[in-house]
Amino acid sequence: MTASTANAEAQGNGAFELPLFPLGSVLFPGGLLPLQIFETRYVDMVKRCMRDGSPFGVVLILDGHEARRDRGDGPPQIATIGTQARIVDFTELPNGLLGITARGERRFRVLGAEEQSDHLLLGRVTDVPDPPHVLVPADSEALVEILRQLLEHPAVNQLGIKADFEDARSVAGRLADLLPVDPRFKQGLLEQDDPLVCLAELERLVHAMQEQNGS
C-alpha cells in the first residue's frame, strides 16, 4: 500500500496534519528510535516538536531515498501506515550532529501528503485504533524467552527498552524492533491489527532463521 504525495481529500472525521519523517526503517508503538538529524528541514521540524511537545510521523520509504540527493529529487513513495513518534531525549553527537531518541506512540493512516516549500512532507492523517489487549499464548513462550535474552544483551540493555512480556502486541513489537528483519516484513506486522497473527509470523521467521543457522 502506498500514499500519494499529491493532495488527497481526507475522508471521515478525525483527520489532522502531521509532519512526516520518511525512513528506511519501521517504528512500532512503544519502540525507541535513535536518529541523527542533519537536513535543515528535519532540524527545524525537531525544534518545533521539542518546543511544542508535539509528535511527528515515522513512515517507511517504499521507493526513494531518506535524504535529498539533488534539487530535482521529489519526495519518496511512502507506506500508508506509520507511527507517531515523540522525542524523549536529545544530545549533540561527537560528529556535531543533533541526535534524538523518539518513542513510538499510536499508529496512523496517511490520507494524503504534500511537500512544503522547505521540502518537509506534511501528511494529512487519521489515527488507527489500537488493537485489543491480548495475552501471549502459552505456545508462544519461546518467543518471550528470545525477547528476554535480546533485552539482556549489553548493547540492547543500555538502550532502556521496555516490554510487557504478557502482552502479545508488546512482545511482537519489541521482537520486530530487535530482530534483523527486512523493513517490508516489519511494515506488514505494523499494519496487522491482530497481535496473535504477528506472533505467528515471527515464530515462522525465527524458525526459518534457526534452520538457516543449523540450530
- State the average pLDDT for the chain: 89
Give the pLDDT confidence of 32-84 residue by residue, as tens digits.
999 999 999 999 999 999 999 999 999 999 987 766 555 566 788 999 999 99
The architecture that CATH gives domain 16-127 is Roll (2.30)
Q: What is the dihedral of CA 22, 61, 147, 173, to 10 degrees?
A: 70
pLDDT greater at residue 9 or residue 128: 128
The CB density around residue 7, as the number of other CB atoms within 10 Å, is: 10
What does the alpha-carbon distance between residue 64 and residue 33 come to, in Å, rounded to a whole number?
Answer: 21
Q: Residues of the chain with pLDDT > 90: what percent?
A: 71
Which burial class, exposed, middle or buried, applies to 46 when counting CB atoms under 10 A from its CB (0-12, 13-18, 19+)?
Answer: buried
- Assess whether pLDDT exceeds 80 at residue 180: yes
DSSP bridge pairs for 23: 60
Where do the CATH 2.30.130.40 domains begin and end in the chain? 16-127
Query: Which pLDDT score, from 0 to 100, does residue 187 have?
Result: 98
> All 3 cell numbers of residue 18?
502531521
Specify the CATH class of 138-212 in words: mainly alpha
What's the average model confidence in pLDDT over 182-189?
96
> Would you state the cell numbers that stand for residue 88, as one nine-digit string?
524523549
Q: Are 90 and 98 in contact (CB under 8 A)?
A: yes
Looking at the chain, the domain(s) classified CATH 1.20.58 span 138-212
**pLDDT of 69:** 54
